[in-house]
Structure 1
Amino acid sequence: MKNTFTEKLNKFLLKDETFILLIMGAAAAIFAGTFMYIKFGTGAFNDVSIVAMLKEGIDGGSYSAAAGFAAGFLIARILEGPLVGILDIGGSLMTGVGIGIPALLLSMNITLPFNNFLFALIAGALIGLVLGLIIIAIRKFVPKGVAVGGTSIMMGAGNSAGRYLGPLIIIAATQYNVYAGLGALIGSAIFYKLEKEITGGAIIGAMILGAIFL
């Protein structure tokens, strides 16, 4: 009996090789987004506060904050992912690959990956390949039955800290444009009333009013 298309697709998606391909694609897109930010001032896949660390390096020449913070996140998430079976895309790829690795490269005056969009895609894909291989290797060699309950605390840390970014986003949006700031404030108030995290409301509100009036 032949397998259906859905069964074949599920079998393909559960392969280790497929995971590595997906990581390569995501890392390539995120790294290319950072290239866009460096060249055109927009496109980075990250929080405002974390991108500000990279911008500080671009403007002032010191990448220590971005490299130290983001690269540390990358290492922690790569070690965590194979143990809990969940890879935190925000910490490992968006922060680590999108901010940490570019900051490290720029601090060493390695600018080739940022010369054009194609180079950025290739560099990101190669980084994703290495990360994917590391994650699969860790997962293969970790003994069965290893206790990893403590990692749940690490996985919740980013979400707990994220709730405090709402006011910072409102301030940043207001500094950028009064309409974006007003949208962020309205969005935050609506999300607060709905008992949701105000960070999401601030971002959505700023985007909506910013798109209308700018």
Structure 2
Amino acid sequence: MEKKTFTEKFDDFMMKDSTFILLVMGAAAAIFAGTYMFIKFGTGAFNEISIVAMLTDGMGSGDYAAAAGFAAGFLIARILEGPLVGLMDIGGSLMTGVGIGIPAVFLSMGWKFPFSNFFAALVVGAGIGITIGIIIMVIRKVVPEGMAVGGTSIMMGAGNAVGRYLAPLIVIAAAQYNVYAGIGAVIGAAIFYKWGKETTGGAILGAMILGAIFLK
């Protein structure tokens, strides 16, 4: 029997259903804890400003309908979509759904425990992540292999196509924020272009790395 290399063993581990559930659990725990940090200290939410603003409005008015309806709807759609197209939209399912939608639902119901402390937020987030991971795996096992799902592949393709043209906007936004972030965005985009990868990702990573190093 041929002995597997470390890379092959790592690939096998990453392709397991249980590993996927663990990854979702970790991401959900971190995102939910980030929302706790935002509620407690006003910073830390993993989402766009406009979506976080829905939660902020709810915290001020006590009406969480907008945040819960919008973000929780995203979560449900992405959970159903993920197993069918083979891709999980982390932004819609976890960052928006777990980070904004579920907290809004909890707060609207008066559940304070998930936001009582950082550890509680991590545990609740991990529980949410495990649940989401299991649901996705169950759907993936139940749906017949090769089943075509109308609209989902088109939606994914449209999002990816539009994303390719965001790199220049990201470079401009990074340069407006900080000269080092702007330089990092340019370098990151150039490196990813050389590798034949999406320049948008390179611009974002470059801006984050240099921006963090020279953060004032």
**TM-score band, normalised by shorter chain:** 0.7 to 0.9
- Residue identity in the other structure for 1:56: D
Aligned partner of 2:7 in structure 1 is: 6
The amino acid that maps onto 2:103 is P
User: What pairs with 1:1-214 in structure 2 (closer than 5 Å)?
Assistant: 1=1, 2-155=3-156, 183=177, 211-212=215-216
Deviation readout 1:61-92 (Å, 9 max, x if unpaired): 11111000000000010000000100000000
The letter of the residue matching 2:146 is G
Corresponding residue SS for 1:70: helix
Q: Give the counterpart letter for 2:115 in structure 1.
A: F
TM-score (norm 2): 0.76
| Deviation per residue, 1:85-124 (Å, 9 max, x gap) | 0000000000000000000000000010100000000000
1:4 and 1:181, CA in 2 relative to 1: closer, same or farther beyond 3 A? closer
- Percent of matched pairs sharing the same residue: 64
How large is the RMSD of aligned CA atoms in angstroms?
3.4
Q: Kindly provide the amino acid, as one letter, of the partner of residue 101 in structure 1.
A: I
Residues 46 and 35 of structure 1: CA distance in aligned 2, closer, same or farther (over 3 Å): same
Moved more, 125-134 or 137-146: 137-146
State the one-letter code of the partner of 2:111. I
Give secondary structure in 2 for the equivalent of 1:86.
coil
Give the match's secondary structure for 2:177.
Answer: helix
Q: Distance in 2 between matches of 1:127 and 1:139?
A: 18
Count of equivalent residues: 194
Aligned CA distance change for structure 1 residues 64 and 181 (closer, same or farther; 3 Å): farther
- TM-score of the aligned structures, taking structure 1 as reference length: 0.77
Cα distance in structure 2, aligned partners of 1:59 and 1:4: 55
Unaligned 5+ segments in structure 2 are: 191-198
Segments of 5+ residues of structure 1 without an aligned counterpart are 171-179
Taking structure 1 as reference, are residues 109 and 23 closer, same or farther at Cα in structure 2, changes over 3 Å only?
A: same
Distance 1:69 1:42, change over 3 A: same
